[in-house]
Amino acid sequence: MDITLIKLSLIDEDKDQPRYQFSQDALEELANSIKEIGLLSPIKVRDTGDGRYKIIYGNRRYKASQMIGLESIPCIVSDATDEMDIYFEQIAENLTREDFSPIEEAEAFHKLMNEDGFRSSIKLLSSKLGKAESYIKNKLELLKFGSAVKKLIVSGTQIRKDCLTEDQLMPLKDLPIEFRDSLALTAARDELPVSDVKKIAKLFKDKSISDATKQKLLLKTGSGLIETWSVFEQNRKEKLAREKQQQEEARLAAERKAAQVAALEAEQEASAFTTKEHAESSGAPYGEATATAAATPITQNTHLQLEGNYIGAVEADDALLPSKIMHAVSLDNANYSITLDHAYAEAEALLVQLRNGDMQQLDACEQLSNDMLIKLQQLQELWRTIMRESQA
């Protein structure tokens, strides 16, 4: 590789090269370094055929050398003529430089993929430049932003005022343009960390918030937007918790109802079987016994009705006494099954209130329990009396 001294007056910059952003402070620092120790790394140029040369890479060194008034600089002269090969070489060289900005990369990738004479695929770019396809795609996403935002994009991850890193912009890339650029500029002005930008982006992606409300939110500062996100997130969690509780309550209610229906059907079947059995044992026609039993109404105090029927039947020396007794007992059992299910449901509801800190329901729970125990004892005692006297 031959190195040749070429006069600066014979070298032209390549206006189409991918790198065009140069920090003045960095150029002055480089110029001072060249002035003290000389240009250690030559630039690369190509012969344009008219006695002049065009830079392939090394623009910063060329500019810094001009600043200190050098007449000639060391150069590597390339015989490359293919524009695509030259452009790929320029990108590859600049990708090794820390100050090659993400937006310069994005524009270079876009040029290779879309301009006439190039038309490269992402797969080819990945192969030629040694970069993952996802890396190239993410860089291209930066081109969605407007020029005001693009000017602020810098390399690296350090958050600085009035600057934007690629990480800050990625959460905003899929938002509508009327929100995207404004939020990006807010992030730059207020030096928002990436985590805050993600929260704000989530807020503006939520479809339950109207566009009119979102337009008003754009007037807020970065801290104001984060405060709004916190309130919104808390309300969302509370709503989800309420909906979950309502669904659980509906499920329990459905289960209780299904259990009550099943219990009632079982008791009705048992009642029909018992009525038929005792009608046959007493000699009474089944149809007559069934009609008599069906005429017996179910009331809230079936066990009292049972006791009255029994006493009346004994006094009248009723021949259908056994079937009437068993039918009344069956009705009483069915009614108590429903009453107990209802009481159990009430007890469950009271328990939920107790767990939620409502200690005033403690007495109600205790009273409900005592009432049901007393009624059960009364029913058992009445059943024993009936069985004892009917067998006598």
Per residue in 40-61, pLDDT tens?
A: 899 999 999 888 999 999 999 9
Q: Tokens at residue 289, please?
A: 């016994």
In this predicted structure, the answer to whether residue 69 has a pLDDT above a threshold of 50 is: yes
Looking at the DSSP bridge assignments, the partners of residue 11 are: 53
Looking at the DSSP bridge assignments, the partners of residue 6 are: 73
Q: Tokens at residue 114, please?
A: 């879309």
pLDDT at 35: 93
pLDDT at 282: 57
Query: What would the mean pLDDT of 176-191 be, rounded to a whole number?
Result: 95
Cα distance between residue 389 and residue 6, in whole Å? 131
Query: Angle at Cα 258 formed by Cα 349 and Cα 373, nearest 5°?
Result: 50
Residue 351: pLDDT band by 50, 70, 90 thresholds? low
Amino acid found at 297? P
pLDDT at 219: 94
Query: Angle at Cα 181 formed by Cα 177 and Cα 184, nearest 5°?
Result: 140
pLDDT at 82: 87
Contact 224, 199 (CB under 8 A): no
Q: Tokens at residue 225, please?
A: 């937007």
Rg (CA), the chain: 45
Residue 263: pLDDT band by 50, 70, 90 thresholds? confident
Query: What would the mean pLDDT of 328-351 be, rounded to a whole number?
Result: 55
Q: Tokens at residue 352, please?
A: 């939920």
Nearest to 184, CA basis, from 203, 202, 165: 165
Which H, E and C letters describe 194-206, residue by residue?
A: HHHHHHHHHHHHC
DSSP per-residue letters across 225-244: HHHHHHHHHHHHHHHHHHHH
Of the two residues 340 and 157, the one the predictor is more confident about is: 157
Residue with tokens 């890396």: 135
In the chain, what percentage of residues exceed pLDDT 70?
A: 70
Residue 1: pLDDT band by 50, 70, 90 thresholds? low
Of the two residues 273 and 319, the one the predictor is more confident about is: 273
In this predicted structure, the answer to whether residue 322 has a pLDDT above a threshold of 90 is: no
Contact 153, 126 (CB under 8 A): no
Residue 96: pLDDT band by 50, 70, 90 thresholds? confident
pLDDT at 241: 92
Residue 212: pLDDT band by 50, 70, 90 thresholds? very high
Range in 79-93, 104-118, 257-271 the model is least confident about: 257-271
Query: What would the mean pLDDT of 112-141 be, rounded to a whole number?
Result: 91
Looking at the DSSP bridge assignments, the partners of residue 54 are: 12, 46
Nearest to 72, CA basis, from 9, 25, 26: 9
Cα distance between residue 13 and residue 66, in whole Å? 12
- Measured between alpha carbons, how far apart are the two ends of the chain, in Å? 127
pLDDT at 176: 92
Residue 153: pLDDT band by 50, 70, 90 thresholds? very high
Strands (DSSP E) found in 164-309: none
Query: What would the mean pLDDT of 139-143 be, rounded to a whole number?
Result: 94
Q: Is 169 exposed, middle or buried (0-12, 13-18, 19+ CB in 10 A)?
A: buried
- Residue range 158-181, pLDDT digits in tens: 999 999 999 999 999 999 989 999
